[in-house]
Amino acid sequence: MTRPVKHLTPTQWAGALILGALVAFALLEWMLFDRNPARQQLDAVFALPSLHEPLGTDQFGRSMLARMGAAIRLSFSLSLLSVLTSALLGVLLGVWAAWQGGWVDRVLSFLLNTLLALPGLVLVLLLAALVPGSFAILYLAISLALWVEYFRVVRALTRTVVIGPQMQASRLLGFGRGYLFRRHIWPAIAPSVLALGAFGAGNAILALASLGFVYVGLRPPTAELGLMMVELFPYYTDAPWAIVQPLIAVFLLVLGFNLLAGKKHDITD
């Protein structure tokens, strides 16, 4: 096992720091305030930020602090869930396809080409149309769009390892599959898997916000960053500070994950 944490570059540290701050905000809001993000106070619409409401209130007098906390927690959990799922699926199938070769490789590659034929967002939109407003289907759709990248990269990397002399030697010495994977394959693919994971998390957050923005993702009154942008946009002249909050949150989330991913993600071929 490699310890990638030790080798973080300064830019990656910056990314980790931004994400850490956002996690801390989302968790502290939850533990210290724990307000209901759907509770309306119609006599306090668009209250300016104050000590009681540090981020002000929205068009229904709902606490922006509570809504931002809930939305960031939602984005984080969705992106982590779909990255874990797609990474597991992509790595397992990618290693399997490269190691086994033959028809396994052909069938999986065919499946991949089918999925690649539709742009990711169109696939996610179609699946979101099947069951509107459901978190589970968004999670499934985004994972389905993400695993392709893992499979492609892992399969290509594993193939070069499998035919390399080091692994052949280990195999001749009679080591088991588990050992071969841990000793030879995982170290070769780990940096790319982690970089792809950070990059994929950013993409998942973008996808969720984009769906909310075109109004086919989660439904109101869920606090979701894209949805909050559309809801607050008509009130831009009344409360510019309100719409700025979800914009900054998405920006920081994606920037954080992109910086964390480092340079490797640029063009993975």
Partner 1 sequence: MGKIVLHRLVQAMMVAWSVGTLTFVLLRSLPGDMAYRIAAGRYGYDNVDSAAADAVRAELGLERPVLEQYLGWLGDLLQFNLGTTLVSGAPVSQELQHQLGHSLLLASMALLLSAFIALPLGILCALKSQGKLDLASLIASSLLRAQPVFVIGLILILAFALHLGWFPVAGFGTALHLILPSVALALSLAAVSNRVVRNSTYEVLHSAYFEFSRIKGLTARQTFLRHGLRNMAVPVVACMGIQLVGLIEGIVMIESLFSWPGIGHGLAHAIFSRDVPMIQGTALTLGLIFVFINTLIDLVCHWLDPRDNRE
- Residues near partner 1 (CB under 8 A): 113-114, 116-122, 125-130, 132, 202, 206, 209-210, 213-216, 226, 229, 233, 236-237, 247, 250-251, 254-255, 258-259, 266-267, 269
Give me the DSSP letters along 171-196: HHTT--HHHHIIIIIHHHHHHHHHHH
Q: Which is nearer to partner 1, 80 or 130 (CB)?
A: 130
Q: Which is nearer to partner 1, 118 or 163 (CB)?
A: 118
Return left, alpha or beta for 34; rule: phi > 0 is left, psi -120 to 50 is alpha, else beta. Answer: left
Residue 253 CB, shortest distance to partner 1, in Å, is 8
Q: Which is nearer to partner 1, 92 or 230 (CB)?
A: 230
**Non-local CB neighbours of 43 within 8 Å, separated by 6+ positions:** 61
Residue 35 CB, shortest distance to partner 1, in Å, is 27
Residue 43 CB, shortest distance to partner 1, in Å, is 29
Residue 70 CB, shortest distance to partner 1, in Å, is 20
Q: Which is nearer to partner 1, 53 or 145 (CB)?
A: 145
Residue 32 CB, shortest distance to partner 1, in Å, is 28
Q: Look up tokens 């509570």; give the residue.
A: 66
Q: Which is nearer to partner 1, 172 or 267 (CB)?
A: 267
φ/ψ (deg, to 5) at 37: -70, -10
> What is the Rg, in whole angstroms, of the alpha carbon atoms belonging to the chain?
22
Q: Which is nearer to partner 1, 179 or 251 (CB)?
A: 251
Q: Hey, how many other C-beta atoms are within 10 angstroms of the C-beta on 182?
A: 13
**Non-local CB neighbours of 208 within 8 Å, separated by 6+ positions:** 74, 75, 78, 79, 138, 142, 217, 218, 224, 225, 226
Residue 265 CB, shortest distance to partner 1, in Å, is 11
